[in-house]
Structure 1
């Protein structure tokens, strides 16, 4: 009889102001590629996992701390045994906004760094795990002031992260496969040229893979078809422009590479669940 997965903490969801989820998994689990408007911190307590984030692939081990910026596409998948225990924490800009007495904008800089993964030393692991334990305890008890206490603990975790430097990231002792590295290069290329037409034939020639092999392997590693990822990259940029600029929606459609406005509307709604006008009304900066 297979053991069941065990959830020890479950508070909020990954699009709410604050989310904390801890689970021990004994069965195979793969989270589909996704992105959200919140920052994410992922900590692996035991086991091994593959992680694809934005345009990089990682082999994650116990004691690794992973930082994922808002709107970065990411996907986790099985590496070896499916058994693992992990903690995921998400929070919004509003959660640590200007009304937070200890807020400093540079606390969020860790999410913009080149490296997503940090391999912690034993003493650092203990410190991080103790912070998460205290958060879980506050959430379970929910005594007076527990929300403020959790925000202070999140601030401590971010301050710890800010003090880490990219130069301190050790070279992994479990290098990724050449296939993962090649697909990561394809993803980086699409991210840098998303406004352009990127036919499969041209991509396969550029990266010296047959069209069928590139298409199949890209889907297996990232969870997306090449066309699907290309469109997602365009829509994510459109979301950013809609939220922070007053540019006409038709101009934004052209700027991110859509030749037909109707196609942009259909694709935007399919990916985000709403049309560009409504998205701007809900997320745009006040004029």
Structure 2
């Protein structure tokens, strides 16, 4: 636990089958840019935050609920006061998969919608918070069948979310501003062309922005530098290839756009916390 943090619950592992954490922070905290192979549900109990998900920047407040699909790049950062409290739930396909008696594929559709944010009404907030409280209660008591109970509560929460309409949420303070639209276009361009070099000078010409303004605005809107975001997308694709193919690491490095293998290795280790060979050994089953 870091200084300025009060944890109410921290159960499971973020990359495991199920994870839930409730924490209050009173000091500045910025989550490093990351992605993972599990689904994520994020609920803000108090305070305000900036959140960048995939290619959209959000301003979130207490009572806001977010759904983040697996492998979507995301980052949270300070907005105003650093004090905030939030609940995060991560779960894998196997935790709520086809073997679950109440599973229906449409339960996961909420993670694939273009909009990630839902601004809940008081009655909806009560239902969501009560769902989390029930999960935490099951974990604390650990009675027989508590994991099944968590699955049932999660399925009910996702069923509730599947009925939420995209129009019920305000995305940002000014979601349709020209600046936000242009930065979203830059993000989409990087996502599509991550194998290319994409120098700042080329991007600034493509999107008709000065290099300095593009660099500064991209960081302000997304929380990433252009270089760090570009590398993150490349490493995400490399991880998929390591898991889903038997291609050699050097071939994967070249395929995702790295000209120097040593640079790929350094960047991969910095992002994933381990080298590519170890990653393949751990995550390929």
Give yes or no for TM over 0.5: yes
Give the C-alpha shift of residue 220 in structure 1. Answer: 4.1
Matched, 1:35 2:39: no
Q: Which has the higher mean CA deviation after the structures are superposed, 229-238 or 177-186? A: 177-186
Scaled by the length of structure 2, what TM-score is found?
Answer: 0.87
Distance 2:23 2:64 in 1: 16
CA distance 1:174–1:216, change in 2 (3 Å): closer
Q: Give distance in 2, aligned partners of 1:178 and 1:203.
A: 17
Alignment of 1:68-107 (within 5 A): 68-107=68-107
Cα distance change, pair 264–32 in 1 and its aligned pair in 2 (3 A): closer
Match of 1:230 in 2: 230
Check 1:250–1:40 CA distance in 2 against 1; reply closer, same or farther (3 A cut). same
Gap regions ≥5 residues in structure 2: none
Report matched runs for 1:1-287 at 5 Å.
5-166=5-166, 168-172=167-171, 174-176=173-175, 179-284=179-284
Contact 1:51-1:77 at 8 Å conserved across structures? yes
Q: Deviations over 1:245-278 (max 9, x none)?
A: 3445444333322334444344333322333344
> Could you tell me the TM-score, scaled by structure 1's length?
0.86
> Gaps (5+ residues) in structure 1?
none
Asked whether the 8 Å contact 1:57–1:181 carries over to 2, the reply is no
- The whole-number CA distance in structure 1 between the counterparts of 2:244 and 2:163 is 30
Aligned CA-pair RMSD: 2.5
Contact 1:195 1:234 in 2 (8 A): yes
**How many residues end up aligned between the 2 structures?**
282
Moved more, 79-88 or 129-138: 79-88
